[in-house]
Structure 1
Amino acid sequence: MTYDVEAVRAQFPALRAGGAHFDGPGGTQTPRPVIDAIGEALAGPLSNGGGGRTAGERSAGELVVAARRAMADLLGTEPSEIVFGRSATQLTYDLSRTLAASWAPGDEVVVTRLDHDANVRPWIQAAQAAGATVRWADFDPASGELTADDVRAVLSERTRLVAVTAASNLIGTRPPVPEIARLVHEAGALLHVDAVHAAAHTYVDRDALGADFLVCSPYKFCGPHLGVLAGRAELLEGLRPDKLVPSADTVPERFELGTLPYEFLAGVRAAVDFFAALAGPAEGSRRARLAGSFAALEAHEDVLRSRIEEALGAFPSVTLYSRARRRTPTLLLGFEGREAQDAYRFLADRGVVAPAGSFYAVEASRRLGLGDTGALRVGLAPYTNADDVERLISGLGDFLGRAA
């Protein structure tokens, strides 16, 4: 498979403004096929889904079906296991409350200090409401690694659920989720995986990961703003979330509160198809094409990440916190004697977008000794090219060479 980054970039209207975007971990720019799909859905007949007797009802139903199939292909699940919601955070909150209905004092829930707070706080709050105990799995701040042994150390026969990230949105670390899943299931617990960051950079397979539940956000992989939950069918069937009396009680519809954003579902399908074509035309199913695209994308991003890391080696006053052996192309940088926010503003004035902060990964930021302030995050996206990288490196050099 080949990766023609300039052909990819040509499909992003926002890039015409000239910025070099390293803010992908917070949300990517949107390609033309996604924009067009959303517009076309809104331009045609569109009604609240119902009996399918009108053109608008049929359109709504078709958009839902197509989006479920697309996300199932992206995540390695069945369409009937795909739940849509306003955001991954909202879906995690809803799931945590539903699962916690069966928890009791003495039960335990495990969260990690590597995770985005959306995969930490909902579980803590649900555990507190049920009288359950929260146990923390720590990661090594020196290496950035979260190991299976770190999770093993806090598992017990009372563990009911473990929440872990597939990739850190702050430092890129990709924990050994399949190994963690094996330990979790041996303990008789469930595994909830946050794949919001991972799904933008890696080929996700829920079953290979061993996840019972997995969430992601299409706006992190060039789609619209909403969330997706992929849960195992047998588990979803056994859960009874709060819902309105007249709303559907089938799975996955019983977890979807209110009318779905049909136009955004059109964008979700288009975003998955966009990723499936990243490496050019290929034979086989959409799932197979996605595998080829992600392999090509990872190779492309690895080259650019290596170039950035090589250049950072010439800046002794820069601390690179992204050190794990397996990680996404997401780099967290600190500056000796300088504020990360100053670096962000300096780069922004030069058209290089690399924000500073803790990015809701407050526990990870604190564990790294950065408090809630965080550091400068540099994240690659499918449209990042070598020129962008050189602009970033040049800008950092100018910032560090400037008097404080």
Structure 2
Amino acid sequence: MIDANIWRARFPGLQTPWARFDNPAGTQVVDSAINAMRQFLESGNWANSSGYFAASRECDSLLQSARIKLARLLGGGEDEIVIGPSTTANIFMLTRALSHDWCEGDEIVCTELDMDSNVSPWLHAARQRGVRVRTAAVDAATGTLDAARVEELINERTKWVAVTAASNAIGAAPDIERIIRCAKAHSARVLVDAVAYVPHRRVDVGSLGCDVLVTSPYKWYGPHSGVMWVTRDLLETLRAVQLRAAHGLSRLEYGTAQFEIVAGIAAAVDFMEEVGYERIRAIEDGLTSRLLDGLATIDGARVHGPVDGMQSRTSTVGFTVSGYQSSSVAEYLAGCNVAVWSGDFHAIELVKAMNLESVGGFVRAGISVYNTVEEVDQLIRAIDDWTRHRAV
């Protein structure tokens, strides 16, 4: 296991007594991204794009540079990168545009594993067009999604398949390559929600064969924002709802670019490349295995999602403690300076399918590149103390 302490000094937000496992909702921001945003704001280049003066040219250059870096991170082309305020906003905007070409009898396939940001936008757009949305079920006992459950819903009427690369609640990672192959065999398009995947695993949209992939830089050490890769042929035919003067990628980007945010995104990509996915995975997988093993020894603690290794999961761990509300567990951990989340995390269908509404969903702990062995052990000890104290 690689020692993550080497990266901790790069995160000003970690200079507190807290053990931060709240990472699935947003990681701490790396120093270089903070500096890049500040430097842009102080540079005098605060302007807008497409002008003839120097500051405007710098805005154009910054935006182009960020697109190039994001394309390299995701494996696509720089002219296929859309930068928006959030993934939820990006998908709502996209589905609104896509729905102009839908008609009664068409079908959309979603899944119970997905966060609602990759479900509700499809439901709203489908309702307006009289299109049917079919939902692939997870295994209620494990929370995993068998690709066959998705495949059986795909047919010649399917227009789009919307599927997550990894659960934002429990880390389960379905076989999206198999799902994409099936969709393409039926001439359906695919949107992959990789928000909970890109922080932990490398993606290559070229080899995946999907049509759209979304990710959120604030999940991988950058500022709050959303990035969407859209295949070039779809961009050329998409009937986006936009201002009359919008053209090219700006058809999918509402309003003026947030250039200071773009600067932070570009720096966050640099950091991801500096660390590298091999080291990211080595750090996170080792710590996640330690957390899973530790939770398995605690009476009443139950991990939801894959527990048989790291091949079919990421480092996001969802668990419950028998007899207790998940919010009570999270509140106790907060008293121990351990930051976790509790709830459904907008994975509404997953919590329903696993019958966890009565306990308030999951307790969620996420491992990132800056977490340490000591922090994982602190979390395990706190849960163990909780169960022992309550059992007395």
| Category of TM-score, reference length = shorter chain | over 0.9
Alignment of 1:1-400 (within 5 A): 3-246=2-245, 248-250=246-248, 252-278=249-275, 293-323=276-306, 326-371=312-357, 373-400=360-387
- Is the CA contact 1:113–1:138 (under 8 Å) kept in the aligned structure 2? yes
- Is the CA contact 1:322–1:330 (under 8 Å) kept in the aligned structure 2? no
- Is the CA contact 1:320–1:334 (under 8 Å) kept in the aligned structure 2? yes
Cα distance in 2 for partners of 1:345, 1:317 equals 17
Q: Percent identity?
A: 37
- Is the CA contact 2:296–2:302 (under 8 Å) kept in the aligned structure 1? no
Runs of 4+ in 1 over 3 A off after TM superposition: none
CA RMSD of aligned residues (A): 1.4
Cα distance in 2 for partners of 1:50, 1:264 equals 15
Cα distance in 1 for partners of 2:75, 2:303 equals 33
Cα distance in 1 for partners of 2:193, 2:319 equals 23
Cα distance in 2 for partners of 1:265, 1:33 equals 13
- Is the CA contact 1:45–1:59 (under 8 Å) kept in the aligned structure 2? no
In the TM superposition, residue 144 of structure 1 has moved relative to its aligned partner by: 2.8
Secondary structure of the corresponding residue to residue 200 of structure 1: coil
In the TM superposition, residue 276 of structure 1 has moved relative to its aligned partner by: 0.9
Secondary structure of the corresponding residue to residue 332 of structure 1: strand
TM-score w.r.t. length of structure 2: 0.96
Q: Which amino acid aligns with 1:305?
A: T
In the TM superposition, residue 142 of structure 1 has moved relative to its aligned partner by: 2.1
In the TM superposition, residue 49 of structure 1 has moved relative to its aligned partner by: 2.8
Q: Which amino acid aligns with 1:249?
A: H
Secondary structure of the corresponding residue to residue 378 of structure 1: strand
Q: Which amino acid aligns with 1:327?
A: R
Cα distance in 2 for partners of 1:59, 1:400 equals 57
- Is the CA contact 2:27–2:219 (under 8 Å) kept in the aligned structure 1? yes
- Is the CA contact 2:48–2:59 (under 8 Å) kept in the aligned structure 1? yes
More displaced stretch, 180-189 vs 135-144: 135-144
Cα distance in 2 for partners of 1:218, 1:50 equals 22
Q: Which amino acid aligns with 1:6?
A: N
In the TM superposition, residue 316 of structure 1 has moved relative to its aligned partner by: 2.4
- Is the CA contact 1:160–1:189 (under 8 Å) kept in the aligned structure 2? yes
Partner deviation per Cα, 1:160-199 (whole Å, 9 max, x = no partner)? 0000001100111111111110100111110001000101
Q: Which amino acid aligns with 1:267?
A: G
In the TM superposition, residue 115 of structure 1 has moved relative to its aligned partner by: 0.1
Q: Which amino acid aligns with 2:335?
A: D
Secondary structure of the corresponding residue to residue 390 of structure 2: coil
Q: Which amino acid aligns with 1:262?
A: F
Cα distance in 1 for partners of 2:319, 2:341 equals 11
- Is the CA contact 2:330–2:340 (under 8 Å) kept in the aligned structure 1? yes
Give the count of matched residue pairs.
387
Cα distance in 2 for partners of 1:20, 1:47 equals 37
Unmatched tracts of structure 1, length 5 or more: 279-292
Cα distance in 2 for partners of 1:394, 1:147 equals 34
- Is the CA contact 1:169–1:197 (under 8 Å) kept in the aligned structure 2? yes
